[in-house]
Structure 1
Amino acid sequence: MKPNIETQLKVLFEGYSKFVDGKYLANCSCVLIKSTPNIVIDTLTSWDDEKLLSALKEENISCDDIDYVVCTHGHSDHVGCNHLFKKAVHIVGFSISHKDCYFTEPDFHSGEEFVINRKVKVIPTPGHTLQDVSVVVDTDNGVVAVTGDLFEKFEDLEDAGIWKSAGSDSEELQEINRRKILKLADFIVPGHGPMFKVPQHFKEAD
């Protein structure tokens, strides 16, 4: 029998996007997965070093304890603090690297998945950008998908204008991968809103 892998998922910061005094403000959701190995998903903006370090300290985790950094895509509000994690393998969209060494497998372009352990995998979900990935985590409370901007926030389930107005390199692919995740996941951590439970009627839709 394979040993059980303890996996704890913590949303360190909920993403947001909003207009305030005529200015558009946005930052991404940032997620910590305590497991074997430890993983950080989406590292905020380049101005967020101190708040990310503080949040990790509260979880008794140091930057050197992080084995993988996964950025759902390469936009600046999702990759800003990658530099903190010197020992980690970095997955930024379809690109996987450690220092100056780039991995040629898996081939996300062909739909292959990157299996981190039996409970955590990275899957290609292009649409918002053509190299978007999502992290799928099997937790004790159900399957959680950390999707970046494949989903902006819960409200875009009913109002497609929300995710489309945020930018989409391929609305067709984004629609396909949104449906895929809705059927696969029990909960979704979107790019710019709180984690939400997937309504059952979306899981049952054709």
Structure 2
Amino acid sequence: MQHIFLAINKMSQMSILFPGYSNVAGDIMKANCSCTLIKGPPNCIIDTMTAWDGSRLIEALKLHNLHPDDIDYVICTHGHSDHIGNNNLFQNATHIVGFSISKRDEYSLSHDFSKGAEFQISDDIKVVPTPGHTLQDVSVIFNNNDVLYAITGDLFEKEEDLENDNIWISAGSDNEQLQRDNREKILKLVDFIVPGHGPMFQVPKK
């Protein structure tokens, strides 16, 4: 199993445990999301893939000397099944699924992503609202020594959709203009993007 080491600073390191993919053949789309680990403290996992990937995810965490109980935050960029399939593994974590923040049966009423509020997890990690693909999408911004990474879920499908809007539109968009606006916001903000269904890419310099 080969994981992609991305970034390290004094407090946290980020690794893509599994790069996402999506391919269409006939009337079947084969797809799974990118799954990213930020190892701190705090320990965060972003998007937990499908319900059939639990054993793979546990083994991947072992390579980083982690157990599911060591994860502090599970962040799912949105609620589609390929992004939330193994949330149940992380019983000790606070779960952020789209605009919802919960732990066990308690849901936070004090934070409102719908009004644009960002959720600060640590000095280096924050969750920002980026709706469009769904109306409750979020992205994770990781600051690695002033190099900014965005883990965006399906706000960006893959690098190719920078040149071909049809890729992200055909993947489904609840609000194309809102998604377009948030894509531009993220492109202006960060240096690297981990998209929902492709390898990480560097934001083109204009």
1:86 matched residue in structure 2: 91
- 1:23, CA displacement in angstroms? 2.3
Does 2:202 correspond to 1:179?
A: no
8 A contact 1:43–1:77 mirrored in 2:
yes
1:40 matched residue in structure 2: 45
Q: TM-score, normalised by structure 1?
A: 0.94
Partner letter of residue 111 of structure 2? P
* Correspondent of 1:165 among 163, 170, 176: 170
Partner letter of residue 137 of structure 1? F
For residues 192 and 141 of structure 1, the distance between their equivalents in structure 2, rounded to whole angstroms, comes to 25
Instruction: List alignment gaps of at least 5 residues for structure 1.
Output: 202-206
For residues 12 and 193 of structure 1, the distance between their equivalents in structure 2, rounded to whole angstroms, comes to 13
1:115 matched residue in structure 2: 120
Instruction: List alignment gaps of at least 5 residues for structure 2.
Output: 1-8
Moved over 6 A (4+): none
1:25 matched residue in structure 2: 30
- The secondary structure found in structure 1 opposite 2:61 is helix
- 1:140, CA displacement in angstroms? 3.4
Cα deviation digits, residues 154-188 of structure 1 (max 9, x gap): 00000000000000000010011000000111000
For residues 141 and 114 of structure 1, the distance between their equivalents in structure 2, rounded to whole angstroms, comes to 19
- 1:151, CA displacement in angstroms? 0.1
* Correspondent of 1:125 among 126, 130, 140: 130
- 1:22, CA displacement in angstroms? 5.0
- 1:15, CA displacement in angstroms? 0.2
Q: TM-score, normalised by structure 2?
A: 0.94
- 1:196, CA displacement in angstroms? 0.3
For residues 19 and 109 of structure 1, the distance between their equivalents in structure 2, rounded to whole angstroms, comes to 33
- 1:20, CA displacement in angstroms? 3.9
- The secondary structure found in structure 1 opposite 2:151 is strand
